[in-house]
Amino acid sequence: MLKSWKSKLDFNNSFVAKLHLCVEQYKSCFNYKSYSTPRFIAMNSNPSQGSDKSLEAMRHFSETYAQRTGTYFCVDPSVTAVVIEGLAKHKDDLGAPLCPCRHYEDKQAEAAAAYWNCPCVPMRERKECHCMLFLTPDNDFAGEQQHITFDDIRAVTSQPH
């Protein structure tokens, strides 16, 4: 029994380490500094951000999809904010909300293929969201929220390094 507990702990530590690395990568992509000390700058002055219109569309989509599928946003709201911002940026740049959490050799081709457009095929088929935007209630990182405000997203993604 102790061995089983230890292997689960090792898995959780590994998963937490991967999550931390993922969040750090998000932070660098969106000029994120710290959620606890927001510094507001002019709306949409950051070239890494999506337009206000696309951000609002992706925010509304995310809330609606979470409610419809019984999933929840990550317990860390900064993860939710940077993923939604990334979706909005891709919607502006590519015409489709391509998953911002993956590396692509050709983003335009991937957006056209639609496999990784949000909600991606793994999310639609198995409720597996690589970005940790839509989490099932049994996921250790699932929060209790299915809502996030436009201002909360911009407060995170408008942060200077």
Q: What are the catalytic residues?
A: 101
For the CA atoms of 80, 81, 87, 89, the dihedral, rounded to the nearest 10 degrees, stands at -170
φ, ψ (nearest 5 deg) of residue 117: -75, 135
Residue 138, Cβ density class (10 Å: 0-12 exposed, 13-18 middle, ≥19 buried): exposed
Which residues are 98's β-sheet partners? Answer: 117
Distance CA 13, CA 5 (A): 12
Residue showing tokens 């436009």: 150
User: 106: Cβ–Cβ under 8 A, 6 or more apart, which residues?
Assistant: none
Closest Cα to residue 62, out of 148, 140, 156? 148
